[in-house]
Amino acid sequence: MKKIKINQNSFIKKILIKAVRKLGFELIDQNNLTVPTSEKKLDDSLNILNEKNIVLPLGEVNIKRKVENLLIIFRSFTNENNLLSQNKKRLFEKEKKEYTLRSLNSICNNIINLKKEIKDFNILLKIIDDNSHESVTNQIKKICTDKNISFEISNLDTNKYESKMKFNNNRRMLAHNSHIFESKNFAINSDFDLLYFVEDDYLHDDDALIEMVYSYQRISSQLNDEIVLCPADYPYLYVNTEHTQNLIGYKKHWCKVNQSLCTYLISKMTLKKYWNYYEDMFLNNYDPYEKPLHELYKNINCFSPMPSLSIHLTNINSIYGLSPLKDWLKIWEKNKY
């Protein structure tokens, strides 16, 4: 993007605007930080999906990676209150269904905001529920219906996958891995481009999906490769000091990381290409569980936002939980359903 700085009268501006539009440049009025060609302020979105990705003063990135649509797969489980791998209470100390429903509410709010930002962008919310009580599934349906979200909901059948698992000594882990297996199977057989796999104990900022979609397009275009985006800035990233790489996304910095949990945005292309890594993860019970993902990130870049776009609602002392520098209590209260 070439920039022409002006601080002249409105008559000259009008002439320059006409010329700039014909030449395809962006005109910036540094006197009041506006873009006269689009009648926007510099803190407004200057992006047009699949056409322009602009961050000032860095300019425009040549869009090489077109984004077609988005599938969000939300895995819900509400029948036990304890954490999967430890007997500890979660942040805010509520019943598990409370985290599920607030997390779902935050995702629905994000879908609404993304559709306002990007018109005619196809988004489907697929909910795979692990045998919750009917009262809970009714609440799930009500949240989505009230917000006019395009969604599907199905119930998990662990019998389809149990015989495939390479371990059988942990019933809850069998269900957990079957849940992930089902979500990956649904995604790889879908017609969607971007895939957001999200667990039901993640609470999101209202602009999380907007940031992730635009940043995916920008960073993948810069690197000329597919990427993985993790929405959480986990505390463990700051335990060890490691050399990393920082890039500019939509309105966040994104830091290259070599680990993630099971909530992330990828492309269907990535899922197909690296299927053996994902299959290895849900057929086994590694310690750490995400070990195959850590190996995968030696082959494909994974990035995490700074500050965070979501919080993992685990125990407050967990290094995989409370992301720093955010008012999460405010966001928790905001997402009452």
Q: What are the sequence ranges of the domains in the chain?
A: 3-44, 69-334
- At residue 127, what are phi and psi to the nearest 5 degrees? -110, 120
**Homologous superfamily assigned to 69-334:** Spore Coat Polysaccharide Biosynthesis Protein SpsA; Chain A (3.90.550.10)
User: Which tokens go with 108?
Assistant: 């629905």
**What tokens does 85 get?**
């791998």
pLDDT on residue 46 = 67
Strand partners, 267: 194
pLDDT at 234: 95
Closest CA to 149 of 126, 171, 170, 131: 126
- Which position has the token pair 């961050």? 55
The pLDDT tens digits for 83-136 are 766 668 899 999 999 999 999 999 999 999 999 999 999 999 999 999 999 999
Task: Record the pTM.
Answer: 0.88
pLDDT of residue 283: 95
pLDDT tens, the chain, 337 aa long: 444 454 555 677 677 666 766 665 666 667 666 666 666 665 666 677 777 777 766 777 889 999 999 999 999 999 887 776 666 889 999 999 999 999 999 999 999 999 999 999 999 999 999 999 999 999 999 999 999 999 999 999 999 999 999 987 788 899 999 999 999 999 999 999 999 999 999 999 999 999 999 999 999 999 999 999 999 999 998 887 778 899 999 999 999 999 999 999 999 999 999 999 999 999 999 989 999 999 999 999 999 999 999 999 999 889 989 999 999 999 999 999 8
pLDDT for the residue numbered 6: 47
Other CB atoms within 10 A of residue 120 CB? 6
Which strands make up the sheet holding 122-129, listed edge to edge? 151-155, 122-129, 69-76, 194-199, 264-267, 228-229, 302-306, 253-257, 246-248
